[in-house]
Amino acid sequence: MTSSLGTGALRLAQRPRRARHTFVAWVFFAPFAAVFLVFTAVPTISSLIFSLTDLQGIDLRNPFGVDFIGFANYNSLFNNKIFVRAILNTMIFVVVGVPLTMLVGFSLALALNNGIRRLRGPFRTIFYAPVVTNIVAIALIWQYAFNQDGTVNNLLANLGFAGPNWLGDPNLAMPVVILLGIWRNFGTAMLLFLAGLQAIPEDVYEAASIDGAGWWRRIWSISLPLLLPTILLVSVLLSTFYLQVFDEPYLLTGGGPLNSTNSVALYTYQQFGFGNFGLSSAASFVILVLVSVFAIVQFRLLRPRT
């Protein structure tokens, strides 16, 4: 009886402390909750509602006068050849761009971690520079370089080859845009892989070397398995970027030629510019579904097994 009374008194004494801790937690959480609500939750819910209506630019004066049309916008999208082509192009961006970006980033991370440690700082800065450089300036330089009379074709002419019209050929424009995406994003992959490699103890590599494991065996059997969480993070980040790719095709080719570089994000922007707000909202939710599906698949395939 005395023990139960003591336990009850202790709980009563702890209640004010718990209430104070709860209040402090909510105070710190409130700014994030407000920002998330205003800039993410409300726009997302509004966009979902708009995607189920025939909202046009002319309806902004009377937004409550629009008609509810259900999934007609989604049906219209998937019956539109341009949008279907944009989805296929976006899949190409992901399937080609993500592995190549990861390969370049991982290779440079290995070089910085093993071969050129003394110059790690300067090289890390140089390789990361494209990530923080203004994309408009980058696109202008790439347009000049891959113009029919640009730097790349001039170099090919000096070697005795006739350079093609890189940005005007539907078969060549896509590789150039993907190359720009790789050049712009490999720095992020490199830094994340480098951080993961530096977290692996040197003793593990030394023990493997003593057992006779060569360089490639150490990479395959030690580095890659221990880097699996980092690989998952980099893969999800890059997939999200390429699924929402907009700047590169918009600034470099405008989605052309013949919609060969058009992406879902660029198509969404174009429809919004045309005043088709309901249709563009539906297209934006297609992007959300694609990002979610890719993230779920990657977490299933790449999550560390315990």
pLDDT of the residue at 205: 76
pLDDT of the residue at 182: 93
- Supply 143's token pair: 């347009």
Q: What is the rounded distance in angstroms from the CA atom of residue 196 to the CA atom of residue 123? A: 17
Q: Confidence class of residue 68 from pLDDT cuts 50, 70 and 90?
A: confident
The residue that leads in pLDDT, 39 or 116, is 39
Percent above pLDDT 90 for the chain: 31
pLDDT of the residue at 46: 85
The residue that leads in pLDDT, 256 or 5, is 256
Contacts of 165 (CB under 8 A, 6+ apart): 148, 172
Q: What is the rounded distance in angstroms from the CA atom of residue 195 to the CA atom of residue 188? A: 11
pLDDT of the residue at 14: 54
Q: What is the rounded distance in angstroms from the CA atom of residue 200 to the CA atom of residue 203? A: 9
Residue-wise pLDDT tens digits, 244-287? 999 999 999 888 888 899 999 999 999 988 888 889 999 999 99
When pLDDT is averaged across residues 281-299 and rounded to a whole number, the result is 90
pLDDT of the residue at 162: 82
Q: Confidence class of residue 117 from pLDDT cuts 50, 70 and 90?
A: low
Percent above pLDDT 70 for the chain: 89
pLDDT of the residue at 116: 63
178 in Cβ contact with 97 (< 8 Å): yes
52 in Cβ contact with 69 (< 8 Å): yes
Nearest Cα residue to 244 out of 294, 172, 188, 208: 294
**DSSP summary character for residue 275:** T
Q: Which residues pair with 68 in a beta bridge?
A: 53
Residue-wise pLDDT tens digits, 149-161? 888 888 988 888 8
Neighbours of 233 (CB within 10 A): 17
The residue that leads in pLDDT, 105 or 1, is 105
pLDDT of the residue at 83: 94
Entry pTM: 0.84
Cα 176 to its chain centre, rounded Å, is 19
